[in-house]
Chain A
Amino acid sequence: MRKHIISVLVENEFGVLSRIASLFSGRGFNIESLTVAETDDATVSSMTIVTTGDDHIIEQITKQLNKLINVIKVVELTEATQMAREMVLLKFASGSGGKRLELLRLVEVYQGRVLELGARSLVVELTGSRDKIEAALKVLAPFGIREMARTGLVALGRNGIK
Chain B
Amino acid sequence: MKKMLTGAQILLEVLQEQGVEVIFGYPGGAVINLYDHLPDYDCRHFLVRHEQAAVHAADGYARATGKTGVALVTSGPGATNTVTGLATAYMDSIPMVVFSGQVPTPLIGNDAFQEADIVGITRPCTKHNYLVKRVEDLERIINEAFHIANSGRPGPVLIDLPKDVIGGKCAKKKPEKPVLKGYNPNYAGHPGQVQRAMQQIFKAKRPLFYVGGGVILGDAAEALTELARKLRIPVTTTLMGLGAFPEDDPLSLGMLGMHGTYRANMAVTESDVMVAFGARFDDRVTGRIDQFAPGAKIIHVDIDPTSISKNVVVDIPIVGDVGDVLGKMLEVVENSPDEASRCASGHDEWLEKIAYWRDLHKLSYEQDTEEIKPQFVVEKISELTRDLNPIVSTEVGQNQMWAAQFFTFTQPRSWLTSGGLGTMGYGLPAAMGAQVAFPGRLVLDIAGDGSIQMNIQELATVVQYNLPVKVIILNNGYLGMVRQWQELFFDRHYSSTRMNHAPDFVKLAEAYGALGLRAEKPGEVEETLKKAFAHPGPVIVDFKVAAEENVYPMVPAGEAISNMLLV
**Which A residues are closer than 8 A to B by beta carbons?**
10-11, 14-15, 18-19, 22, 26, 56, 59-60, 63-64, 66-73
Instruction: Check B120–A18 contact: CB distance below 8 A.
Output: yes
The answer to whether A11 touches B182, judged by C-beta atoms less than 8 angstroms apart, is yes
Q: Cβ of A56: which chain B residues have Cβ within 8 Å of it?
A: 309
Q: List 15 A-B contacts (CB under 8 A).
A: A11-B181, A14-B133, A15-B119, A15-B123, A63-B305, A63-B306, A64-B306, A67-B305, A67-B306, A69-B127, A69-B180, A69-B182, A69-B183, A72-B182, A73-B182
* A68: chain B residues within 8 A (beta carbon): 182
Interface membership of B148, Cβ < 8 A? yes
Query: Which residues from B are CB-within-8-Å of A15?
Result: 119, 123, 131
Interface string of B126-150 (1 = CB under 8 A from A): 0110010100000000000000100
- Nearest Cβ in chain A — how far from B319, in angstroms? 10
Chain B residue with the shortest CB-CB distance to A70: B182
B148: A residues at CB distance < 8 A: 69
User: Which 9 A/B pairs are nearest by Cβ-Cβ distance?
Assistant: A63-B306, A72-B182, A69-B128, A72-B181, A69-B183, A71-B182, A63-B305, A26-B124, A64-B306
Q: Which residues of A contact B124 (CB under 8 A)?
A: 22, 26
Q: Answer yes or no: B304 CB below 8 A from chain A CBs.
A: yes
Q: How large is the interface on B (under 10, 10 to 19, 20 to 34, 35 or more residues)?
A: 10 to 19
Which chain A residues border B127 with CB–CB below 8 Å? 69
The contact string, 1 if C-beta is below 8 Å from chain A, for chain B 300-328, is 00001110011000000000000000000
CA distance A69 to B127 in the complex (A): 8
Interface centre among B119, B183, B306 (most CB of A within 10 A): B306
Q: Known: A22-B123, A69-B148. Is A10-B182 also a contact (CB below 8 A)? A: yes
Chain A residues with CB below 8 A from B181, complex form: 11, 72
Contacts of A14 in B (CB 8 A): 131, 133
A69 to B310 CA separation, bound complex (whole angstroms):
20
Contact of A19 with B123 in the complex, beta carbons under 8 Å:
yes
Instruction: Using CB atoms, name the residue of chain A closest to B183.
Output: A69
Closest to B310 in A: A60
B-chain residues with CB within 8 Å of residue A67 when the two chains form the complex: 304-306
Residue of A nearest to B133 (CB): A14
Tell me the complex Cα distance, A18–B120, Å: 8
| Distance between Cα atoms of A67 and B183 in the complex (Å) | 8
What residues of A have a CB within 8 angstroms of the CB of B304 in the complex? 67
* List of A residues within 8 angstroms of B306 by Cβ: 60, 63-64, 67
Within the assembled complex, what's the spacing in Å between the Cα atoms of A44 and B127?
Answer: 21
Alpha-carbon distance A59/B310, docked complex (angstroms): 9
Apart from the given pairs A18-B120, A56-B309, 13 other A-B contacts in the complex at a CB distance below 8 Å: A10-B182, A18-B123, A19-B123, A59-B309, A60-B306, A60-B310, A67-B306, A68-B182, A69-B128, A69-B148, A69-B180, A69-B182, A71-B182
**Which chain B positions have C-beta within 8 A of A22?**
123-124
Within 8 A of A (CB), among B68-127: 119-120, 123-124, 127
Bound complex: CA A63 to CA B182 (Å): 13
Residue of A nearest to B125 (CB): A26
Closest to A67 in B: B306
A6 to nearest B CB, angstroms? 15
* In the bound complex, CA of A102 to CA of B181 (Å): 53
Which residue of chain B has the shortest Cβ distance to A61 in the bound complex?
B306
Contact residues in A for B128 (Cβ distance below 8 Å): 69
Closest to A66 in B: B305
* A25 → chain B closest CB, angstroms: 9
Docked pose: A70 CA to B183 CA in angstroms: 8
